Amino acid sequence: MRDLRPIFEPKSIAIIGASREPGKIGHVIVRNFIDGGFPGQLYPVNPNAKEINGLKCYKSVLDIPGKVDSAVVVVPAKIVPKVLEECGKKGIKGIVVISGGFAEVGDYELEKKLADISREYGLQVIGPNCLGVVNPSTKVDSIFLPTHKMGRPKMGGVAFLTQSGAVGSTILDLVAREGFGMSKFISYGNATVVDETDLLEYLGKDKKTKIIVLYLEGVKRGKEFFRVTRKLAKKKPIVVIKAGTTENGAAAAKSHTGSLAGSYAAYRAVFRQNRLVEAKELDDVFDFAKIFDTQPPCTGNRVAIITNGGGMGVLTADAVIKNGLELAEFSEKTKKRIRETMPPTVNARNPFDIVGDADAARFEEAIGLAYGDPNVDALIIITLFQTVSLDSRVVDVVVKAAEDGQKPVITIALGGEYTEMQRRALESSGVPSYDCPNAAARSLAKLVEYSRFVKGKA
C-alpha cells in the first residue's frame, strides 16, 4: 500500500509555481492555505519572486532549509519533470500536480516522464491535471478555486474521490451548501502514479472517513480495483457514480454475450458483486451519501409514513413499495394508542395521516408511537410546511426523535423558501431531508440493502 500521509497530513508544504498575481492559480492556492489556517510551514517557490503574501519565496525547493513533506505543483507542464526531480532530491515524498498538459492532450511522452521520475525517487504523485486535495482535519487545501467562488465543506465523515475536476468542484460546492461533513476531497486527474484503487485503500484505512463517494470514468487496474473494493465495501459504504454508461462498441462483438456484456455492464457487475452503491444521477449521490452518513444501519424493510397531507402520504407509499420496501402494519397496541390520543379525523393506518391541522405536538406524539412500534423498522416523516399549524418547532421534534439512533428517520418536504430553510435546519442536525418521495424511498432502500449485506443477510 502506498504511503499517502505526506500528501494529506504534511507538516510543511512547498507550493511550486506560487505567484504574486492575484488572478493566477499559484496565488489562489497560497492564499487558500493562509486563509484556511494551515498550521504548518508554507514555502512558496518561484524563481522570480522574493516574497508572496508576506511569505519568503524560494527559487527552488532545493533552497528551502529544513525538511519539506509535501509539494503542490502548478508550473507549466514542460517544467513539471524538472520540478519533480528537484522534489525527489529534496526528499519530498507526497506531491499533488495540478498542472495539465499531459496524456489528456495527447502528450503521452511527458506523462511517461512524470511516471518514470516518480518511480525513480519513490514519489507519491496525485494528478497531473487535477483539482487538488482537501483535508479539513489538517487544513490542507490545494484547490485552486477561490473560497468565495466555491464553498468548502465542514469536517465530517464523507470522503469524495473524483476523477473529473469539473464534476469534483461542483460536488464540493454542493456538499458545502447541503451541509455535509467531509473527511477528504481528492481530485485525482490522470491517475498517472496514484490511482483510484490506491486512494480507496488509503480511505479504507483513514479513521476520519466513514463513507466514500466515488466519481469514476474508468479504472486503471481493473483486477486490483475489484480486489480492493470487495474487501472495503464491507467496512465502509462506497457510493459510486460511473460516467460513460452509454456504449458504442457493440458492433465489434461476434456473439450475443459479446454485444450484451459491454464495458458498462462490466462495471455494473463489479458494483453489484462487491456491493458498491451505484448512483445513476448526480442527485442520487447526495441523496444516498446523506442517509449513509447520518442514519443507523437497518436490515428491516417495514416503513412507517407519517404525514400531515394525505396525497403526499399515498405518493410516498407508492415510492416505498416501488423501491422494494414494505409499509409497516402497526401493532394493535399502537393502533389503540392512536385512537386514544389522536383526533377522530386521524385513522390508525399506515400511511399515518395526522391531517392538515397537525402541529408539532401531534407530530411528536405520532412519531413517538411509530418509532416505538416493534413492527416499524424505519420512519419517513412528511412535513408540509404550507399549513397554518406547522412551523420550525416540528424540526426540533424530528431531530429529537432521530437522536435516539436506533431506527432510520428521514423526512420529505417540498416547497418554497420557508420549506427550504426548514430542510436545511433538519439536515444540519443530521436528519436527511428529501424533496421527492422517490428519492427518499430509494435512498432508504439502498441503506437497507447495504445493511443487510454487511450483516450477511443478503
Partner 1 sequence: MPLDFSREGISKLLAKHGVRIAQESVARSPDEAAGIAEKIGYPVVLKVVSDEILHKTDCGCVKVNLVSEHDLRSAYTQIMHNAGSAKVKGMLVQKMVKKGIELIVGGKKDEQFGQLILFGLGGIFVEVLKDVSVRVCPITIDEAREMIGEINGSPLLKGARGTVPVDTEKLAHLLVNVSKMLDENQEICELDLNPIIAYEDGYLAVDVRVIRCVT
Residue 293 CB, nearest approach to partner 1 (Å): 27
- Contact with partner 1 (CB under 8 A): which of 223, 246, 248, 251? 223
70 three-state secondary structure = strand
Residue 448 CB, nearest approach to partner 1 (Å): 16
Which of the residues 151 through 170 are near partner 1 (CB under 8 A)? none
Cα 122 from chain centre: 30
Q: Judged by CB, which is closer to partner 1: 122, or 249?
A: 249
Residue 103 CB, nearest approach to partner 1 (Å): 17
Q: Judged by CB, which is closer to partner 1: 122, or 222?
A: 222
Q: Cell numbers at residue 41, please?
A: 510551514
Choose one: 111-119, 217-225, 360-368, 376-384; the region binding partner 1 (CB under 8 A).
217-225
Q: Judged by CB, which is closer to partner 1: 65, or 456?
A: 456
Q: Judged by CB, which is closer to partner 1: 52, or 216?
A: 216
Q: Cell numbers at residue 12, please?
A: 510543511
Query: Is 253 one of the binding residues for partner 1 (CB under 8 A)?
Result: yes
Q: Is the peptide bond before 343 cis (omega within 30 degrees of 0)?
A: no
- Contact with partner 1 (CB under 8 A): which of 172, 219, 303, 384? 219
Query: Is 263 one of the binding residues for partner 1 (CB under 8 A)?
Result: yes
Please state, in angstroms and rounded to a whole number, the distance separating the CA atoms of residues 120 and 123.
8
Please state, in angstroms and rounded to a whole number, the distance separating the CA atoms of residues 344 and 183.
49
Residue with cell 454508461: 245
Helices within 373-432 (DSSP H only): 393-403, 417-428
Tell me if 63 sits within 8 A of 90, measured CB to CB. Answer: no
Give residue 282's identity as a one-letter amino acid code: L
Helices within 11-107 (DSSP H only): 25-35, 80-90
Please state, in angstroms and rounded to a whole number, the distance separating the CA atoms of residues 46 and 52.
9
Query: Is 321 one of the binding residues for partner 1 (CB under 8 A)?
Result: no
Which of the residues 403 through 442 are near partner 1 (CB under 8 A)? none
Q: Judged by CB, which is closer to partner 1: 138, or 259?
A: 259
Residue 260 CB, nearest approach to partner 1 (Å): 5
Residue 227 CB, nearest approach to partner 1 (Å): 10
249 three-state secondary structure = coil
Residue 221 CB, nearest approach to partner 1 (Å): 8
Cα 170 from chain centre: 12
Choose one: 201-209, 247-255, 324-332, 400-408; the region binding partner 1 (CB under 8 A).
247-255
Residue 212 CB, nearest approach to partner 1 (Å): 20
Residue 414's Cβ-side half-sphere holds a number of Cα atoms within 13 Å equal to 14
Query: Is 311 one of the binding residues for partner 1 (CB under 8 A)?
Result: no
- Name the strand (E) or helix (H) holding 361: helix 360-372
What would the x/- binding string for partner 1 be over residues 265 to 304, using CB under 8 A? xx-xxx-xx-------------------------------
| Count of residues that bind partner 1 according to CB under 8 A | 23
Question: Exposed, middle or buried: residue 261 (CB in 10 Å: 0-12, 13-18, 19+)?
Answer: middle
Q: Cell numbers at residue 449, please?
A: 440493502
List the beta bridge partners of residue 306: 352, 381
Q: Judged by CB, which is closer to partner 1: 191, or 289?
A: 191
Which residue ranges make up the site for partner 1 (CB under 8 A)? 218-219, 222-223, 225-226, 253-261, 263, 265-266, 268-270, 272-273
